[in-house]
Amino acid sequence: MPERIRILGFDPGTRISGYGIIDAVAGGELSVVSYGAIRLQPPAGKISIPQRLRNLYEALDEIVREHRPGVLAVEKIFHGRSFDSVMKVGEARGVGLLVGSLHNLEIEEYAATRIKKSVTGNGQASKSQVQAMMTRLLNLDEPPHPQDVTDALAIAFCYAQGLRSIDLSTS
């Protein structure tokens, strides 16, 4: 296993998708490489879901080409929203999985409760608690915004937490 693993956390959406890239290095040290929001719906006007998905594909492909992560970490789809909303998020999630597969990334999926627990110690933590902890744990000057970005960083962080029991400098 290499001394550094670059992790791309991806929070899918069809209006805004968040991404966060973290390097995990030997000894458990983490450093933030990049993060941001991929805005798929222009402020004025509407574009079709197929066009948004194409835009998402192009943006994610560019992010992967630029930053060269080895891992794509994504949240599993959860229940509780409307069927239409779950379908749209699933379509965006599928675009992320496709980009990861096309770039031969290791792909890991996590339940929302596991992500929250890895960040806050509480699987039922609020979005504001996750945001506060991500700001603190990643030594960010200000909280990531919008929430989709915080969620993407939390997903990458969850993957990185699983590496703490592995010595990256050996293997």
Give catalytic residue positions. 11, 75, 148
C-alpha span between 37 and 20 (Å, rounded): 9
Q: Give the distance between the most distant pair of CA atoms in the chain.
A: 53
Q: Would you state the structure tokens that stand for residue 12, as one six-digit string?
A: 């899918």
C-alpha span between 67 and 120 (Å, rounded): 27
Residue 26: burial class (beta carbons within 10 Å; 0-12, 13-18, 19+): middle
Q: How far apart are the first and last CA of the chain?
A: 5
